Structure 1
């Protein structure tokens, strides 16, 4: 067995397991919960480590957040940290051009979901959301709650359509949908 990726696989498994183990509030209380926002922000940060982009800019990795002030606030604390050997740039709020983002998080508070998905389709943007059935609606990674824990749902076909390669190990840890 190839041991080259064993430390990466172990690190990813450990990180995602620890995050998934956090008990979340009932969904009615989720929007304003700081713990849930921290978990989602951690997922966003770590997801980017397990995705390959076709044309990743050399100067920065841009993570954009719309529709979720709490996740945006948590991600703001990670700005300028190194991710994939690039400084992480966080943009929160209205976006002039979402196709300039490598990761686009669309929170439940944003009503432009269909428009945003349409605009970034095929543009090499990893779309992530906590909107119900997001991955089934044309997004790539969706957060969902099960037994009080946040889990991942990934649509591999949509990722391929965006020219993104998602790590097989990440796919093993997520529920895949079409």
Structure 2
């Protein structure tokens, strides 16, 4: 991957680049109900929220999840998450995280975050730093409740799967 950085921009932190790659792969291995994403070529709306999420959005620019081009949006309020197919919530949103995830609980929105309480708050995929590497854990019950499914390959790579078959 080649990243061109303008004179006034700072390059994204390597951690943000890795998180963006994970998010892209999560969208590629998630399945939405046909009623939500009926057209095989429809854009997949990926929203990001919170500090540092802009770097992640820039890394995802002009990318695609299978046949779905990514439509990236930065949101600041939970109410703005309605058109999102996937939502990354940065750790800066931790105080509002539980309420936001409760609002999305029955909607087919792939929720991705990186805070210790993300799965307990109802999020689907939590990224975490383990021995200097980014790993992830999955809340399968939250995905199922929203009508979504995750490819078994994703589940096999997870550090931990909650609410489903053990690893």
TM-score by length of 2: 0.80
CA distance in 2, matches of 1:112, 1:171: 27
Question: C-alpha separation between the residues in 1 aligned to 2:59 and 2:103?
Answer: 28
- Aligned residue in 1 for 2:3: none
Which portions of structure 1, spanning 4 or more consecutive aligned residues, are displaced by more than 6 angstroms?
A: none
Alignment of 1:147-162 (within 5 A): 147-162=131-146
Aligned twin of 1:163: 147
Distance in 2, matches of 1:93 and 1:113, equals 14
- What is the Cα-based RMSD across aligned positions, in Å? 1.7
What is aligned with 2:15? 36
Q: Distance in 2 between matches of 1:86 and 1:74?
A: 18
More helix by percentage: 1
Q: Answer yes or no: is the 8 Å Cα contact 1:98–1:104 preserved in 2.
A: yes
Aligned to 2:60: 78
Pairing 1:47–2:1 present: no
Aligned residue pairs, count: 145
Q: Is the 8 A contact 2:20 2:59 kept in 1?
A: no
Residue equivalent to 1:61: 44
Q: Distance in 2 between matches of 1:136 and 1:153?
A: 11
The runs of 5 or more residues in structure 2 that have no matched partner are 1-11
TM-score by length of 1: 0.75
Deviations 1:106-148 (A, max 9, x none): 1011132122101111110010101113112211000112111
Contact 1:98–1:119 (Cα < 8 Å) also in 2: no
Unpaired runs of at least 5, structure 1: 1-32
Q: CA contact under 8 A between 1:68 and 1:106: conserved in structure 2?
A: no
